């Protein structure tokens, strides 16, 4: 079976906009639970301004306590060289930068124009590589911007090329507001793959319109084998109206397994992580498949009639 890598983003993207501060001890409990479930790639935190995103103020402390650091690929988000310096001091080995595809989204997100953001990202990627770190670049609002509307594939391709030329090891195509559909995913990758191999790319889909798994399927057909998701569907972008609805990790795992792909993730253990995420956030979480998954789990644990097993 073909291997697909799931990059869990619940700890960062999932929690960054949560209204009450989650103690670092609870974040580490969730990280441990996700590792136990078999996840081996995780975006753990971000080294952004604590004033802008208070939930991430404990980034250095969290990094010091992360479990399974020898066999788990942890990455962190950094907005610029200042954030990179903090990440390096905390022991980060891989950093992610975010470059939105439109002027207005960059202004709303980090208070800079697209041109200035490109300069900052290029400089930060180059410095990260010079320090021996892996650097990855998100191209946000890669399909639609909530402020400027449709984003053309050529724009995304040019930004991706610029990040790769600077030294980025991977470009993550981000459907920040959940506006993508399979036809547009196919169209975008037709342009992207004229320039680079599919192994260079990953995808970050939101499930706002219930299209996320359709878009995953189309990306798989293009050769992409790495996808972001968030336990229980936690999170979204706090700077983008209507962006809530990250693709739930449990939905993605179920979908991939049923379609014959291998992820290394135990669904049974992952459901425990969803329950833990619910406990520490106080939110009713769970992807679109949770009703089925819970019912299926109940059937498996239900005693057979007359106390007999039903194995035949």
Q: Which residues contact 120 (CB under 8 A, 6 or more apart)?
A: 79, 80, 81, 112
CA dihedral 34, 135, 229, 176 (to 10 degrees): 150
Yes or no: say if 240 and 176 are a contact pair by the CB < 8 Å rule: yes
Strand partners, 77: 46, 96
- Cα–Cα distances (Å) from 90 to 186, 205, 257, in that order, read 39, 29, 36
Separation between Cα atoms, residue 216 and residue 226, nearest integer Å: 9
Q: State the residue for tokens 């001091």.
A: 89
> For residue 152, which of 191, 119, 106 has the smallest C-alpha distance?
191
User: Do strands 144-145 and 94-100 pair parallel, antiparallel, or not at all (unpaired)?
Assistant: unpaired
Separation between Cα atoms, residue 72 and residue 35, nearest integer Å: 8
Separation between Cα atoms, residue 126 and residue 287, nearest integer Å: 38
- Cα–Cα distances (Å) from 250 to 10, 66, 211, 292, in that order, read 12, 22, 15, 11
Residues labelled catalytic: 237
Separation between Cα atoms, residue 72 and residue 64, nearest integer Å: 14
Q: Which residues contact 265 (CB under 8 A, 6 or more apart)?
A: 6, 37, 38, 39, 249, 253
* Tally of CB atoms within 10 A around 260: 8
Separation between Cα atoms, residue 222 and residue 134, nearest integer Å: 24
């Amino acid at each position: 079976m073909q291997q697909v890598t799931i990059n869990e983003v619940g700890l960062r993207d999932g929690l960054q906009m949560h209204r009450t501060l989650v103690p670092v001890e609870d974040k580490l409990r969730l990280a441990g639970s996700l590792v136990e479930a078999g996840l081996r790639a995780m975006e753990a935190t971000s080294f952004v301004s604590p004033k802008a995103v208070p939930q991430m103020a404990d980034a250095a402390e969290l990094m010091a306590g992360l479990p399974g650091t020898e066999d788990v690929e942890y990455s962190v988000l950094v907005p610029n060289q200042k954030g990179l310096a903090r990440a390096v001091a905390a022991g980060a080995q891989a950093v992610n930068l975010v470059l939105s595809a439109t002027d207005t989204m960059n202004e709303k997100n980090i208070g800079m124009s697209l041109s200035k953001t490109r300069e900052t990202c290029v400089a930060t990627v180059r410095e990260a590589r010079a320090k021996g770190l892996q650097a990855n670049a998100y191209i946000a609002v890669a399909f639609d911007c909530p402020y400027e509307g449709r984003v053309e594939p050529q724009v995304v391709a040019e930004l991706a090329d610029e990040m790769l030329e600077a030294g980025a090891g991977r470009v993550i195509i981000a459907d920040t507001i959940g506006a993508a559909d399979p036809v547009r995913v196919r169209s975008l990758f037709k342009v992207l793959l004229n320039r680079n191999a599919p192994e260079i790319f990953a995808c970050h889909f939101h499930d706002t319109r219930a299209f996320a798994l359709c878009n995953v399927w189309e990306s798989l057909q293009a050769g992409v084998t790495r996808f972001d998701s968030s336990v229980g569907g936690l999170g979204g972008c706090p700077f983008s109206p209507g962006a809530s609805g990250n693709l739930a990790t449990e939905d993605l795992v179920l979908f991939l397994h049923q379609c014959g792909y291998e992820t290394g993730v135990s669904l049974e253990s992952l459901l425990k992580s969803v329950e833990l995420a619910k406990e520490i956030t106080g939110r009713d979480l769970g992807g679109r498949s949770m009703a089925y998954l819970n019912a299926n789990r109940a059937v498996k644990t239900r005693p057979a009639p007359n106390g007999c097993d039903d194995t035949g």
